[in-house]
Amino acid sequence: MSSLLLLIPVALGLGLLGLIAFLWSLRDNQYEDVEGAAYRILLDDDLSPEEQAKINAVESKSEPAADKTDKKDA
């Protein structure tokens, strides 16, 4: 019985803390755009031609080095 005198105020305090956290998140518009993050990955901008050329140059430089290491292992 004496444990209830401790557990009831603790439970009410935790419930109040959760309610305050929920109201704070509502006030800060945390739930305004729930699905935006899921679609944001699909709306990624395409690379500019200059950026694509840089990536292709780096990839073409790394391919011959990979071929040489494969021949040494064989």
Asked if 9 and 3 count as a contact pair (C-beta separation under 8 A), the reply is no
Q: What is the span of the domain harbouring residue 26? A: 2-73
Asked if 16 and 10 count as a contact pair (C-beta separation under 8 A), the reply is no
Residue 5 has pLDDT above 70, yes or no: yes
pTM of the entire predicted model: 0.47
Report the domain count for the chain: 1
Instruction: Give the separation between CA 9 and CA 33, rounded to whole angstroms.
Output: 36
Q: Which carries the bigger pLDDT value, residue 11 or residue 63?
A: 11
Q: Which residue, among 33, 38, 58, has the nearest Cα to 47 in the 3D structure?
A: 58
State the pLDDT at residue 64.
59
Residue 74 has pLDDT above 60, yes or no: no
Owner of token pair 């990536």: 55
Asked if 71 and 64 count as a contact pair (C-beta separation under 8 A), the reply is no
State the pLDDT at residue 71.
57
Question: Could you read off the pLDDT of 25-67 as tens digits, one per residue?
Answer: 999 988 888 788 778 777 766 777 888 888 888 888 876 555 5
